[in-house]
Amino acid sequence: MPRISFPVLLLWGDQDPFTPLDGPVGKYFSSLPCEQPNVCLFVLEGVGHCPHDDRPDLVHEKLLPWLACLPAS
């Protein structure tokens, strides 16, 4: 991740049983927004491991504005 310079959006379900936020992987990725300005994290409440399947409405609520703010290539 430190070598990635393009914008990164992380959408994480707070009910993820496989990669919980308080586990080693979750802690690593949740620390990235403080360390890398190109990383944005949203924790989605009541959502599991597959946010796009569990709550597509919440995913779109975060994804679409984030995409709209990206610079044109």
14-53 pLDDT tens trace? 999 999 999 999 999 999 999 999 999 999 999 999 999 9
Q: Is residue 36 part of a domain?
A: yes
Q: Give the structural domain span for 53.
A: 8-68
Q: Is residue 2 part of a domain?
A: no
Q: Is residue 3 part of a domain?
A: no
Q: Is residue 1 part of a domain?
A: no
Residue 25 burial (CB count, 10 A) = 12
Backbone φ and ψ for 66, nearest 5 degrees, come out as -65, -45
Q: Is residue 17 part of a domain?
A: yes
The CA distance from 39 to 31, in Å, is 10
**73, two tokens:** 């290539």
Count: domains in the chain? 1
pTM reported for the whole predicted model: 0.90
Q: Is residue 60 part of a domain?
A: yes
